[in-house]
Amino acid sequence: MHDFPLLTALILLPLLGGLAGLFFHRQPAQARFICLTAALAELALALVLLPRVLAAGPLVERFDWIPLLRVQYSLAMDGLSYVLVLLTALLGVLGILTSWREIREGVAVFHCLLLAALSTAIGVFLARDLLLFYLFWEAQLIPMFFLIGRFGHERRRYAALKFFVFSMVGGLPMLLAVVWLMLTGVNPSLAALAASPVPGAMQGWCAAAFILAFAVKTPLLPVHTWLPDAHTQAPTAGSLLLAGVLLKTGAYAMLRWAIPLFPQAVAAAAPWLAGLGLAGLFYASWTALAQKDAKRLVAYSSVAHMGLLTFALFAHDRTALSGAVVMMVSHALTTGALFVMAGMLAERFHSRQLSDFGGLWGKMPVYGAFMVFFAVASAGLPGLSNFVGELMIMLGSFKVYPAGASLAFFGIVVGLAYVLRLLRGTVLGQPGLLTESGKAVDLDGREILILSVFALAVLLIGVHPGPLLDLIREPLNALAAGRPV
C-alpha cells in the first residue's frame, strides 16, 4: 500500500482535465490547451510510476466499498497493467494532437469525451474487484458512443448505434454472470475468485458469458462486424483510441479475468477459441484486399491482427503469451499510426478512396516515407515491433498447435497482399485525380511530430524489446501459475 492514491489519480486526472475544458466551451483554443495539458500530466504521472513498479512490485490501493456485498474499491498496477496504462496515456496525447485541426465544432465536448474514454480504459486495466471492473468495462461505451455518433463521418449514427448494440448485447450475459456470482456470496476480488474457481457446469456458463463480452471488444469472429463501421465513421482520434485502447481492453480482460477465473472451461474451449482467432486472421486479411476505402482497409487489418493475438492467448504457452502482449502494444502503435495517416489524407482531400490517390510519394515525400515505414511494420518487417510479437507467437504456439501455427504463418503472408494494396493505392502506383490536384501538401511540423513518436516507439520495441519483456515477465508468470495480482 502507498499513502497517496496514485492509481486513483491516474483514473481521475484525464476525466477532470476534460471536465475543466468544458468550462471553456466558447474558447476552443483554451479548451484544447487545457485538455492537452491534462493528457501530458497523465503521461508524466505514468512515467514517474515506472521506477516504483520496477522496484516495489505491484502498486495497490484497496478499501471497503460495499461491505455488505464484500465489494472493495481495489486497484493494482503490475508490469502488465503498467504497460497498457502507459500506452493509453501516450495515445491520449497523440489523439489530441491528431484532432488539432480536424475538430472545429464542439471542441471542448470532443476532448472531454476523449479524455473520459482514457479514464474508463485505465480503470479497466487497474480494477481488481469484479464489480468495479464491470462498472469501468461498461462505462467505456458512453464516451466512445458519443465520439463516433457526434463527431464521426457521414454514417456516424449508424456506426455508433451498431457499436452500442453489439457491446450491450455482448455485455448482458456477463452482467447476469456477475450478479449470480455476487448472489452466491463469494469474495468478488480477482485473487479470491481465481483461488476458488466456480465449480461444475456453472463455470462453463460463466466463462461463456465473460468470453462473449470480451470477444465483442477484442473483436473475435463472428462478433467483429461493428468494428469496420466504427473505425470508418469515427473521427481520426476516435479510430486511434478504438485500435490502440478499446480493443486492448478486450484482449487484456481475456488474459486477466477469463483465463484465471474459469481455468477448466477455458482450457476445454481453448482449441475452438484459437481456431476462431485463426479464422478471423484469414477472413479479415482477404476482406481487407477488397476494400476501396483506405480507413476500412486498415480496419480489417486490425481485425486480422487481433485474430492472431487471440490465437496466441489460447495457445496456453508462456512464450506465446509474451508475444501476445508485445503484439497488443505493437498493434496499437502501427495500426494507430496508419489510421492517423488515413485521417491526414481525408483532412487534405476530403476522400478516403484509394482510387483517388496513388503516386503521392512524388508530391508528399515525407508522408510517403512514413506510410511505407508503418505499412511494412504492420506486415512484420524484422527490426520493427510487429516482428517481435509475431515471432514469439509463432515459436510459442507451434509447440501447442503446430498445424495452427503453420496456418497462422500463411495468414501473416496474406497480410502482405493488403499492405501492398494500401501502398499502391496511396504513395505508389499511378497518380490519381486528387494526387494531381493542388491539395497534395506534405506534412507539417505537428504531423511529423505525431508520426515520429509512433515510429520511434515501433523501432525501439523492434530493436530492443527487452525492457518491455522484463516488465511483463512476472505478471505473466503469475498468471500462468494461476496467481493473478
Q: What is the pLDDT of residues 242-279, one digit of tens each?
A: 999 999 999 999 999 999 999 999 999 999 999 999 99
How is residue 168 written as a grid cell?
450491450
Average pLDDT over residues 412-426: 90
Percent of the chain with pLDDT over 70: 97
The CA distance from 185 to 182, in Å, is 5
What are the start-end ranges of the H helices in 184-235?
190-195, 200-217, 226-233
C-alpha dist (Å) from residue 22 to 28, 140, 142, 190: 10, 20, 17, 36
SS3 62: strand
Q: Quick one: which H or E segment has residue 59?
A: strand 59-66
How is residue 463 written as a grid cell?
530493436
- For residue range 138-152, list pLDDT tens digits in order: 999 999 999 999 999
pTM equals 0.95
Q: What count of other Cβ atoms lies within 10 Å of the Cβ of residue 52?
A: 15
C-alpha dist (Å) from residue 387 to 253, 307, 383, 463, 465: 24, 16, 7, 10, 11
Banded model confidence at residue 482, pLDDT cuts 50, 70, 90 = low
How is residue 295 written as a grid cell?
480507413
- pLDDT over 80 (residue 433): no
How is residue 206 written as a grid cell?
460463466
**Half-sphere CA count of 199, side-chain side, radius 13 A:** 3
Indicate the residue type of 94.
L
The CA distance from 44 to 281, in Å, is 36
Indicate the residue type of 128.
R
- For residue range 45-90, list pLDDT tens digits in order: 999 999 988 887 789 999 999 888 889 999 999 999 999 999 999 9
The reported pLDDT for the residue numbered 438 is 65
The reported pLDDT for the residue numbered 267 is 93
- pLDDT over 60 (residue 172): yes
The CA distance from 226 to 220, in Å, is 11
Task: Answer for the pair 76, 58: CB distance below 8 angstroms, yes or no.
Answer: yes
- pLDDT over 70 (residue 2): no
- pLDDT over 80 (residue 3): no
What is the DSSP code string of 319-382?
Answer: HHHHHHHHHHHHHHHHHHHHHHHHHHHHHHHS--BGGG---HHHH-HHHHHHHHHHHHHHTT-T
- For residue range 306-341, list pLDDT tens digits in order: 999 999 999 988 999 999 999 999 999 999 999 999
The reported pLDDT for the residue numbered 55 is 83
Higher pLDDT: 478 or 81? It is 81
Average pLDDT over residues 30-35: 95
Banded model confidence at residue 1, pLDDT cuts 50, 70, 90 = very low
Average pLDDT over residues 446-458: 97
SS3 185: coil
- pLDDT over 80 (residue 483): no
Mean per-residue pLDDT of the chain: 92
CA neighbor of 104 nearest in space, from 36, 28, 26 = 28
Q: What count of other Cβ atoms lies within 10 Å of the Cβ of residue 484?
A: 23
